[in-house]
Amino acid sequence: MNLGLSGKRALVTGASRGIGAAVARQLAAEGCSLYLAARSEAALQALSRELRERFGCDAAPITADLATATQAEALATRCADAEIVINNAGAIPGGRLDDIDDATWRETWNVKVYAYINLCRAFFARMRTRRHGVIVNVIGASGQRPKANYICGATANAALMAFTQALGGDSLEHGIRVVGVNPGPVATERLVDLMKTSAKDRFGDSGRWKELLAPLPQGRAATVEEIAATIAFVASDISSYTSGTVVTVDGGYCNRGSLM
């Protein structure tokens, strides 16, 4: 299927590893030129070289920490010609209410919740002027089925789901689409960390985290490539009437129960 992405310019945040890097590879394979933003300069440089060698695309690495509105605005200014923005940066630790102190709530929300909002604000204004653009917020299925032992992340994700739905509800009137993607458990290093937290909470032993994979569909987590394919699809012209909604990619797991 031709997604109609060839020749488009996309920004991917949190691009240095995991879902972000997989999205960058998927968009490069579809013919996009890329801005790659993350805090890890070495990882970005390596990914940029890989994409240029494999796909012959322009892939500009940008070291950025998006924890403040001024940094988000600076990135939007540098990448002003981006037609597609993939908000993917930020990770929030597991834990119950008593485990997460005030500093952690504020620091992690600055990097994820407020960074997403700030980038959306900056790019939405530019896209509205040219009446064209797509914003995809990569959120997380815990916002759909919140649990006490991932309270900080679940609350953040629920907020971003509401934000995405609200912003995308009438964005097509300005020629802009705003869509969310909720990955369920995905086979990344971060998943292992969260599973260890859950195993310690459930069994009193973080080393038993692999036992928590058993109830997952097909007994496994999603691959980053499976999530990236969905993100590329909703960002593409094939999904031109999709806005103000959040697509969950979890193998149906949210309708079975909750891993976390």
Query: Are 115 and 70 within 8 A, CB to CB?
Result: no
Which is nearest to 55 in space by CA: 79, 24, 86? 24
Is residue 204 assigned to a domain?
A: no
What domain range includes position 116?
9-186+222-251
Q: Is 117 inside any structural domain?
A: yes
pLDDT tens readout for residues 46-102: 999 999 999 999 999 999 989 888 999 999 999 999 999 999 988 888 899 999 999
For residue 3, being part of any structural domain is answered with: no
Please check whether residue 35 lies inside any domain of the structure.
yes
Residue at 205 is within a domain: no
For 110-134, what is each residue's pLDDT tens digit?
A: 999 999 999 999 999 999 999 999 9
Tell me if 58 is assigned to some domain: yes
Whole-model pTM: value is 0.90
With respect to residue 194, please indicate whether it lies within any of the assigned structural domains: no
The pLDDT tens digits for 175-190 are 999 999 999 888 887 7
CATH code of the domain containing 239:
3.40.50.720
As given in the structure block, the two tokens for residue 186 are 């995905």
Contacts (Cβ under 8 Å, ≥6 apart) of 121: 69, 72
Q: Is residue 73 part of a domain?
A: yes
Split into its structural domains, the chain has a count of: 1
